[in-house]
Amino acid sequence: DAGITQSPRHKVTETGTPVTLRCHQTENHRYMYWYRQDPGHGLRLIHYSYGVKDTDKGEVSDGYSVSRSKTEDFLLTLESATSSQTSVYFCAISDRQNTGELFFGEGSRLTVL
Amino acid sequence: GENVEQHPSTLSVQEGDSAVIKCTYSDSASNYFPWYKQELGKRPQLIIDIRSNVGEKKDQRIAVTLNKTAKHFSLHITETQPEDSAVYFCAASLIGYGNNRLAFGKGNQVVVIP
């Protein structure tokens, strides 16, 4: 498996609290992504990064921000969590110049009460 | 942006039979079409992909076909086995031209009945 880890793997929080999910890779891949997975909606792109300090929005970016200060880390922040952000979040990495394949992390299950 | 749709949403097959999942995409410029398999509680993993310059690709019991004119592609699984039970996601993207976004379909639940 590609060297990609997510933390925390599980988190329960209350509405209105800030939450940060971390994605760490050891593959030195340029591209990193955050997806959320919800029943009936598949995998939806939140934000992605194409280099250090280079990020762009995905299709469901409202309420989320990201940062990438180092090649290996991509942080997803929910400034003020809402119940609609209860989901499973997957980080993915890619060396798109060669294959286009995405390697996913194990996922982070977030519950907002 | 690209929009990918999958049909059917759930597919039940008898063990040993074939399963076919179809996807349509909207952006004629897309040139890369992967399929991901996600077992229960696991991460999605790439099982096969195809580029737009190829009409069909096979890997053991799985194959993918692409019809660029109709803008659809399909996953074929032959001689299905219980371990093929999973959710399968198709996706489409334009790679190599600065566009780095992979658009996924909503997924198909495949259930192989022993």
For residues A87-109, give the mean pLDDT: 88
For residues A71-86, give the mean pLDDT: 97
Query: Is A84 strand, coil or helix?
Result: helix
- Among all residues of chain A, which has the CA nearest to that of B31? A100
A39–chain B Cβ distance below 8 A for any pair = no
pLDDT in tens, B55-78: 999 999 999 999 999 999 999 999
For residues A76-91, give the mean pLDDT: 97
Spell out which residues of chain B touch residue A45, defining contact as CB-CB under 8 Å.
101-103
How far is the alpha carbon of A82 from chain B, nearest alpha carbon, in Å? 23
pLDDT in tens, A5-52: 999 999 999 999 999 999 999 999 999 999 999 988 899 999 999 899
Q: Which residues of A5-26 are buried (b: 16+ CB within 10 A; e: fewer)?
A: ebeeeebebeeeeebebbbbbe
Residue A96: the pLDDT is: 67
pLDDT tier at B112 (50, 70, 90 boundaries)? very high
pLDDT tier at B54 (50, 70, 90 boundaries)? confident
A100–B43 CB contact, under 8 Å: no
